[in-house]
Chain A
Amino acid sequence: MSSEPRPLHDDEALILRIEGLLAQAAYQDNPLREPLAQLFEHSQGQRHRLERLVRISDGYQTAARSDSQTLAEQYDRQLRRLEKLARISDRYQASLREMSETLREASLQDQMTRLGNRRFLVDRLNAETERANRKNAPYALAMLDVDFFKAVNDSYGHGAGDQALCKIAHCIQEHVREYDHCGRWGGEEFLIILPETALESARQVAERVRHEIGTMRHDFFDGRITASLGLTLYLPGETYSATISRADMALLRAKAAGRDRVEVA
């Protein structure tokens, strides 16, 4: 730092004047000259100190300011990174959740008929059994089997058989009540669960489903395809397997009695 900061105009004039007075030969013997010279020197020293102080503290201030700007920039940058990280991560998570939802749905659905599959039915059976015991409100259970289905497959081919099954599945779904559950138990067997339903109402639903299946028309032949149903009520305290066995027994009786009918056990 070579250049001294320029004093203010007034200061400069004063300094020049004092310097001038001190240099004049006429005042060399003036008794005030010596103390004035000391005062002048002292004042100049103070001025220099003050200037240095200002310069140094300005320097610190600039440094601190640029530091805090850098910090603020870093902070903003980290914040943006973090937001981006969260955004990307959220998207991955959302797509995983969707995928698991799709898988869950697929795992509960029968691929061919689009009805609930056996796993779905077992879920429902567990839930309804628990509810029936808790609320002491038994559910009704109907096991439905398509009559002479093997003959349909044998005579018209599996394609026709599958088509008929899908139609029947759709028909069941359409004619049970909104809060009933139905699904494909296996092969040409379907299960209908009727929550909190008395036997007489359940029989009406079962009869309606049987009737509707029997009146359906099929593309591949002029005849009718019928179904038999075994119906029973859940008995408090028993396992749902016991209920299913009873419905099966009723179904066998319906078959033995000539099919296309609902039997109750």
Chain B
Amino acid sequence: MNALTIEGSQSTPSIFADWDLGRLIMRGDSYPENSFEFFSPVIDWIERYLTESAAPFGLELRLVYMNTSSVKAMMDIFDLLEDAHGRGRQVSVNWYYDPRNERVLDLADEFREDCSFPFEIAADEQ
């Protein structure tokens, strides 16, 4: 299964992964009841992509609110990307925030701190 689509809900982001484009998109709020369960297919997909494909990988985020365990899951994902980057893989993150909510900018910046791969934070003009 190379496609991954998870419908969003009030407490979970919508997730869409495209193997051929090497892209995974997350959008919305994230405070699932069980973050581990929710994020494990996402983490699995990314791990598998980074192992089986040699093409570049881009993660696109439009996340607003995250609970603590979701923050942890995101840190795990960034660690995966950092490791892959260390092995010479081309990985990147693009984090889009709502310009009406500048706080997300600071939060994304905090996430970016330990990442040495390309990590762009930009206002979402959509």
Contact = CB atoms under 8 A, between A and B. Distances in A.
Interface of A: 81, 84-85, 87-89, 91-92, 95-96
Given A84-B114, A88-B111, A92-B65, 5 more contacts: A85-B68, A88-B71, A88-B110, A92-B66, A92-B71
A87 B106 CA distance: 11
A84 B72 CA distance: 9
A262 to B, nearest CB: 47
B107 A88 contact: yes
A254 to B, nearest CB: 47
B103 A91 contact: yes
Contacts of A95: 103
B125 interface: no
A87 B110 contact: yes
Contact of B75 (A85, A92, A96): A85
Contacts of B110: 84, 87-88, 91
B105 to A, nearest CB: 11
Contacts of A87: 110
Contact of A81 (B65, B66, B75): B75
Contacts of B113: 84
B40 interface: no
A81 B114 CA distance: 10
A81 B110 CA distance: 12
B67 interface: yes
Contacts of A92: 65-67, 71, 107
A91 B66 contact: no
9 contacts: A81-B75, A84-B110, A84-B113, A87-B110, A88-B107, A89-B68, A89-B71, A91-B103, A91-B106
Most buried by A among B66, B103, B113: B103
Contacts of A89: 67-68, 71
Contacts of B75: 81, 84-85
Contacts of B111: 88
Interface in B44-93: 65-68, 71-72, 75
Nearest to B108: A88
Centre residue among A87, A88, A91, A96 by max chain B CB count within 10 A: A88
Contacts of A84: 75, 110, 113-114
Nearest to A98: B103
Given A91-B110, A92-B65, A92-B67, A85 B103 contact: no
Nearest to A86: B68
Nearest to B79: A81
**CB-CB nearest 4 A-B residue pairs:** A89-B68, A95-B103, A88-B71, A88-B110
B80 to A, nearest CB: 14
Contacts of B114: 84
